[in-house]
Each structure stands twice: as C-alpha cells, then as structure tokens.
C-alpha cells in the first residue's frame, strides 16, 4: 500500500504544480485588470492594436526611408500588421517639438534595388497637435487627385511653425503636410496646404494669405484671398499671387494695389523681380505727388542702398 501511495503522489505532483502555476497566472491577470495596469498594446474602438508612447522621440518610415521625426509628449499610433514599429498607419500626437522633415529620394534611387541612402533634413516644425495617416485618394483636393497619388499626410494644428533649410519660415494655426507621387511616374513631391491663414517670411519679404499651397520641392507658394506682401521697395495687396522663392519673383495675375517707393498705384498682371529690382505690368496707374523732384530723389536713395 505504501508503494502505491508513493506512486500516486509522484503522478499527482506535476499536475498539482501545473494547476498552481495556471492559477497564479489567472489571479495576476485578474488583478491587473482590476487595477487597470498599462499594457504594451490594446484594442481601440475599431479593434486595431494601438501603441502609446509618452515623452518620446519617434521617426516614421515609408518604403524603408525616413520621412519625418519628432519629439512629443504623447504619441498614440497603430502600425501595419507584421511591419516594423516605425511603419505606422495612423497616429495622434500631442505637443510636437523638434520636428524634422526629410528629403525625398531621386527617381533613379527609387527605381534602383540598391540600399536607400540616408535622408537629409529639409525643414523643421512644431505644433500643439498632429494627426498622421497613410494616403487615401479621397483626402486630396480634386485638382491634385487628377495628377497625384497621396502617399501620406500629416495634419498639424494649434500654434504651428514650419521652417525650411532654405530660410522660408511659415506660421499658421493649421496646415496639412503631404507627400505626393505623380500618377504613373516615380517622382515624389512634398506639399503643404493651408486654408486657415498663414504668414511667410524669407529675407526681405513678408507675406500673408488666407489660403496657401506650398510646393516644397519647387519652393513655389500659391496664395489666394486676402494676399498682402511687404518688401524693401513697398507693399502690395491682391487676391492671388505666386511667389517663386527660388527665382525671387512675385507674380500677380489679377488686379494689384499698393505703394512703390511710397507712391500709391493700381496695376494689372504684375511681376516683381526682387533680385534685379525690376517691375513689369500690363497696365499701371500711379498717383504722383506734386513734387516730381522728391520722387526722383527717393528712387535714387532706394537704388543706392
């Protein structure tokens, strides 16, 4: 009988131990749920796994290249299934600082099987809040959707600041930073859309418009509605303007009012060459002061500076 009892104990011992371990895991799980301990991942309302980072620095990647990086108080995001942590589908970000936008690869590099080169910083930014998503074609304005595919977009709001390495500084309460790909072509572009007012400064030029489109790749800013610009020789107001920062030209296709060397004027279809200090217009009306001598003296002084 004693031998049978020993054999029974040897047979029961591993099973009792296993049941004890499983019971311990179950009790820990119940305790964690009761006290709502933070878990490394959880399911959101749409049943997608989310990840939360606090007081963290993060770099996003698309097609094995860095697109942007930032530091934020809170980052909540979900990543693509089976992908690396930096390959995210969407993110909500709070208190963005030290943001960096990185350069695009050239078409030759995109089509090559070689390793993608390191991206270079082309701009910095900050914002109170940010929303990032991978591209959906319906998110593009109609005219852009005809020509481009949206790779990703980054909506920033609150107190937003954006500055390119070429010195173009932008301030606005809201902007949409996008990466686009030309339909049927490998060429990529970076653009900014802003419909809640924005101010731009670069060297001697200060500009404000209610609605703007900023082509970062071409350094071209399209301004619509309530456009005001100030530069060394004067000021202008119009409803539409194109500012080519690269060629240092302002082009206004409609009616323009302003002051040139303190002389009020109204012009049509006006181009201002900031680099060569030259002005062209299809038609211009000047309101001349009584003393032409003062005009000549003022122009001489301005051109002599």
The encoded tokens of residue 113 equal 């099987």
Cα(68)–Cα(82) distance, integer angstroms: 21
Q: Which residues of 121-132 are buried (b: 16+ CB within 10 A; e: fewer)?
A: ebbbbbbebbeb
Confidence band for 291, pLDDT divided at 50, 70 and 90:
low
Confidence band for 285, pLDDT divided at 50, 70 and 90:
confident
* DSSP assignment string, 59-98: EEEETTEEEEEEEEEEEEEEE-TT--TT-EEEEEEEEEEE
Residue range 40-66: mean pLDDT, rounded: 72
Could you tell me if residue 13 is inside a domain? Answer: yes
Q: What is the pLDDT of residues 124-182, one digit of tens each?
A: 999 999 999 987 655 788 888 888 989 999 999 999 999 999 999 999 999 999 999 98
Mean pLDDT of the chain: 81
- % the chain with pLDDT above 90: 49
The answer to whether 70 and 88 are in contact (CB under 8 A) is no
Could you tell me if residue 3 is inside a domain? Answer: yes
Number of domains in the chain: 1
Higher pLDDT, 18 or 62: 62
pLDDT value, residue 43: 40
pLDDT value, residue 111: 47
Q: What is the pLDDT of residues 57-113, one digit of tens each?
A: 999 888 888 999 999 999 998 766 655 555 678 899 999 999 999 999 876 555 444
pLDDT value, residue 33: 40
State the residue range of the domain holding 26. Answer: 1-37
Q: Looking at the predicted structure, is the pLDDT value of residue 117 above 70?
A: no
pLDDT value, residue 231: 92
Could you tell me if residue 244 is inside a domain? Answer: no
Q: Looking at the predicted structure, is the pLDDT value of residue 21 above 60?
A: no
pLDDT value, residue 107: 62
Q: Looking at the predicted structure, is the pLDDT value of residue 31 above 50?
A: no
The encoded tokens of residue 210 equal 């209610």
- % the chain with pLDDT above 70: 70
Confidence band for 263, pLDDT divided at 50, 70 and 90:
confident
Confidence band for 6, pLDDT divided at 50, 70 and 90:
low
Apex 194 CA angle, 129 and 171, nearest 5: 65
Q: If we measure between CA atoms, which residue out of 151, 153, 149, 150 comes closest to residue 130?
A: 153
Model-level pTM?
Answer: 0.75
Could you tell me if residue 14 is inside a domain? Answer: yes
Could you tell me if residue 19 is inside a domain? Answer: yes
Could you tell me if residue 21 is inside a domain? Answer: yes
The answer to whether 92 and 131 are in contact (CB under 8 A) is yes
Confidence band for 213, pLDDT divided at 50, 70 and 90:
very high
The answer to whether 79 and 98 are in contact (CB under 8 A) is no
Cα(94)–Cα(188) distance, integer angstroms: 28
Q: Tokens 């080519």 appear where?
A: 244
Q: Looking at the predicted structure, is the pLDDT value of residue 240 above 90?
A: yes
Residue range 30-58: mean pLDDT, rounded: 57
Could you tell me if residue 12 is inside a domain? Answer: yes
The encoded tokens of residue 266 equal 């109204």
pLDDT value, residue 32: 44
């Amino acid at each position: 009988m004693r031998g049978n009892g020993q054999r029974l104990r040897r047979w029961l011992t591993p099973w009792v131990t296993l049941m004890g371990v499983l019971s311990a895991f179950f009790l820990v799980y119940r305790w964690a749920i009761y006290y709502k301990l933070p878990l490394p991942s959880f399911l959101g309302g749409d049943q997608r796994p989310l990840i939360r980072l606090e007081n963290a620095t993060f770099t996003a990647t698309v097609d094995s290249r860095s697109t942007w990086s930032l530091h934020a108080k809170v980052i909540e995001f979900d990543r693509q299934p089976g992908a690396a942590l930096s390959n995210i589908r969407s993110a909500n970000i709070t208190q963005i600082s030290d943001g960096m936008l990185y350069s695009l690869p050239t078409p030759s590099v995109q089509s090559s099987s070689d390793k993608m080169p390191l991206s270079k910083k082309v701009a910095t930014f900050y914002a109170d809040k940010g929303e990032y998503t991978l591209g959906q074609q319906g998110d593009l304005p109609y005219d852009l959707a005809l020509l481009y595919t949206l790779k990703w977009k980054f909506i920033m709001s609150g107190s937003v600041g954006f500055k390119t390495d070429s010195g173009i500084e932008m301030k606005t309460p809201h902007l949409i930073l996008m990466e686009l790909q030309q339909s049927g072509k490998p060429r990529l572009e970076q653009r900014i859309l802003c419909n809640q007012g924005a101010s731009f400064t670069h060297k001697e030029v200060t500009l404000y418009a209610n609605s703007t489109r900023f082509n970062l790749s071409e350094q071209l800013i399209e301004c619509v509605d309530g456009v005001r610009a100030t530069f060394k020789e004067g000021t202008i107001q119009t409803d539409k303007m194109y500012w080519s920062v690269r060629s240092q030209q302002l082009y206004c296709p409609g009616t323009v009012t302003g002051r040139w060397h303190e002389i009020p004027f109204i012009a049509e279809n006006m181009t201002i060459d900031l680099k060569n200090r030259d002005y062209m217009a299809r038609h211009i009306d000047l309101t001349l002061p009584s003393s032409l001598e003062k005009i000549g003296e003022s122009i001489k002084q301005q051109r002599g500076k």
